[in-house]
Amino acid sequence: MIRTVPTKPYSDQKPGTSGLRKKVPVFQQEHYAENFIQSIFDALDGFKGKTLVIGGDGRFYNREVIQKAIAMAAANGFGKVMVGQGGILSTPAASHVIRKYKTFGGIILSASHNPGGPHEDFGIKYNAGNGGPAPEKLTDAIFEKTKTISSFKIADIDPIDIDTTGTVKAAGMTVEIIDPVADYAELMESLFDFDALRKLFKSGFRMRFDAMHAVTGPYAKEILENRLGAPNGTCRNFKPLPDFGGHHPDPNLVHAKHLYDEMMGPDAPDFGAASDGDGDRNLIIGKGIFVTPSDSVAMLAANARLAPGYKAGLKGIARSMPTSGAADRVAEKLGIGIYETPTGWKFFGNLLDADMATICGEESAGTGSNHVREKDGLWAVLLWLNILAARGESCKQIVTEHWATYGRNYYSRHDYEEVESDRANALVDELRAKLASLPGTSVRGLKIANADDFAYHDPVDGSVSKNQGIRILFEGGSRVVFRLSGTGTSGATLRVYIERYEPDKSRHDLDTQAALADLIAAADDIAGIHSHTGRPKPSVIT
Ligand code: G6P
Ligand code: ZN
């Protein structure tokens, strides 16, 4: 029943920020997915007889790879797999299932916010027994295995019916098809004041949640409409589709512009939110106000005690380096630790496991807490709702009051997508080479106080991660950060993060791009963005 199939290595299976992501046709090459899955197993130790969680965001090719993963798990000696019904498990829900049932780990099939379909993106990532993304040591080991793989093991079994919950046996292994929503919904219920939220909706509070035809649809429907009594129609685009309806399931101001427009319009509901392909990102828009992800983590942390799950207070806050410093001011006021990590949720894992941080957030629309080991879109939405219910104020009131208390960090990210890799690398190399000469010089009237390439020293395991983004720090606390995306699938994406702190309350309603104009110009002067990339302006501004 178990076959060992000879195979040849592929040279391009290096996992990025969040697992291996490629176009579907790349994954459809002979044994491409099998090679990677076998390499994951080969890099792991001690899973014989243990349980593996398998699920995905429902994108094109999800079902095929789930069948392969089940058959390979059986052949490699797992005792059991737990598979989300229909092949569905959001990334945070998978993280929770791994933790709740103390499984060995999990395989999540997703390319997150990237588009799906026969010519779009697919991805495979491995999460460890703590429920979090594989640490770099493990992804490096997996990559090493992909380079020398010569065979994989697979069980000859009929395709498993993944649409019916229940338990079956396949090649000696137990296959349990689980309700993908139930455990997660129960977890949310344990963290938030569902009674208060039911009252909120009963009082006529109107909300819009856009699942973008991705994985959070069934979760949001169940939690918001069924359990919390939000009116039917609160959730939009809630049916997961293999191609996300032809859209980018990326909840930002570009790909969720319709939601933004609605929230700024005359008949805006009270609160708007969206999540991405695999359910770990969030977009928060109050009536008449967009909340940047950097602000959101700061505001959630400042108010977290209003939710039952966090009433004991926070141990600390962690944010990725390019995320604005808004959360730092909250941590300072609360007298708790603040940690600055490289981009990538996996870097929060140690801090969460060691109970040094309770809430984490990234500028890339990710916010989460120690309830799982992934960022969690719906969790952020529910915490916002809990805060709105507890304070009895609008999102806009909460935001403006936060700025008045802590000052406002004007913040924007400019992305230059699909730049030729050589040109993007040349920009970074040149910038890196002149870093030492920058401090003390002035650009556009702004004096550079410091310039470096961010290196992270993990306070838990002592590991060091270098070259995590170039920071230009100006006098007065403004800064510009440059880094290349680790999640793209074609060419290179240059990200430029721009931030300016404004303590003066009378200057808190400026247009963000106008408030940052001098820094944006300085960034181009310093890095030669236009000349290197050939792009006169960014492709996406968030
Ligand atoms: C994924 C990770 C995030 C990370 C983001 C950055 O979504 O889960 O933790 O912040 O990628 O992506 P980038 O394209 O900037 O490397
Ligand atoms: Zn995602």
Q: Comparing 2-180 with 183-406, is the CATH topology the same? A: yes
Nearest CA to ligand 1 atom 4: 344
CA of 181 to the centre of ligand 1 (A): 24
Nearest to 484 by CA among 536, 532, 448, 434: 532
Q: Is the pLDDT of residue 135 over 90?
A: no
Q: How confident is the model at residue 75 (pLDDT cuts 50, 70, 90)?
A: very high
Tell me how many helices (H) and strands (E) the chain has: 18, 27
**Whole-complex ipTM:** 0.97
pLDDT bracket for residue 17 (50, 70, 90): confident
* Pocket mutation for ligand 1, best pick of 17, 352, 374 (most atoms within 8 Å of C-beta): 17
Catalytic residues: 112
- For ligand 1, what atom is nearest to the CA of residue 345? 9
For 55-71, write each residue's pLDDT tens digit. 999 999 999 999 999 99
Q: Which of 397, 393, 353 is nearest to 373 (CA)?
A: 353
Q: Considering only the top CATH level, what class is 183-406?
A: alpha beta
User: Which CATH architecture describes the domain 2-180?
Assistant: 3-Layer(aba) Sandwich (3.40)
User: Within 6 Å (CB) of ligand 1, which residues are found?
Assistant: 17-18, 112, 320, 343-345, 362, 364, 366, 485-487, 495
To which CATH superfamily is domain 408-541 assigned?
Alpha-D-phosphohexomutase, C-terminal domain (3.30.310.50)
The angle formed by the CA atoms of residues 134, 307 and 309, to the nearest 5 degrees, is 50
What's the pLDDT score for residue 408? 97
Q: What is the pLDDT of residues 213-234, one digit of tens each?
A: 999 999 999 999 999 999 999 9
pLDDT at 93: 98
Over residues 19-29, the pLDDT tens digits come to: 999 999 999 99
Is residue 461 over pLDDT 80?
yes
Percent of the chain with pLDDT over 70: 100
Task: Give the pLDDT mean for 155-161.
Answer: 97
Residue 120, both tokens: 């779009």
Segment 275-304 shows an average pLDDT of 98
Rounded average pLDDT over 105-118: 96
Domain ranges of the chain: 2-180, 183-406, 408-541
Distance 138 CA to ligand 2 centre (A): 20
Cβ count within 10 A of residue 274 = 31
pLDDT of 385 > 80? The answer is yes
Q: How confident is the model at residue 486 (pLDDT cuts 50, 70, 90)?
A: confident
Q: What is the pLDDT of residues 356-379, one digit of tens each?
A: 999 999 999 999 999 999 999 999
Atom in ligand 1 nearest the alpha carbon of residue 483: 15
Which amino acid is located at 115 in the chain? P
Looking at the predicted structure, is the pLDDT value of residue 352 above 90? yes
Residue 75 CA to residue 73 CA, distance in Å, equals 5
Pocket test for ligand 1, best of 296, 345, 495 (most atoms within 8 A of CB): 345
136 pLDDT higher than 90:
no
β-strands 359-362, 366-369: how paired? antiparallel
Distance 250 CA to ligand 2 centre (A): 8
> Ligand 1: which residue has its CA nearest to atom 10?
344
Task: Please give all residues whose CB falls under 5 A of ion ligand 2, grouped by chain where several chains appear.
Answer: 112, 276, 278, 280-281
**Angle between helix 377-391 and 194-202 (nearest 10):** 70
pLDDT > 90: percent of the chain: 96
Instruction: Quote the CA–CA distance of 483 and 481 in Å, as a whole number.
Output: 7
Contact by Cβ (8 Å): 376, 96:
no
pLDDT attached to residue 132? 95
Q: From the CA of 492, which ligand is nearest? A: 1
Ligand 1 site-directed mutation target among 364, 467, 481, 485, most atoms within 8 Å of CB: 364
Say what the pLDDT of residue 18 is: 81
Pairing of strands 20-23, 2-6: unpaired
C-alpha closest to that of 218 among 502, 116, 227, 389: 227
Q: Look-up: residue for tokens 């697919």?
A: 122
> From the CA of 360, which ligand is nearest?
1
CA distance 500 to 299: 18
Q: What is the pLDDT of residue 168?
A: 98
Q: What pLDDT sits at residue 488? A: 73
Provide the phi-psi class of 434: left if phi over 0, else alpha when psi is between -120 and 50, else beta: alpha
Across all residues in the chain, what is the average pLDDT?
A: 96
Q: What is the DSSP string of 25-62?
A: HHHTSTTHHHHHHHHHHHH--S-TT-EEEEEE---TTH
Given this model, what pLDDT does residue 296 score? 98
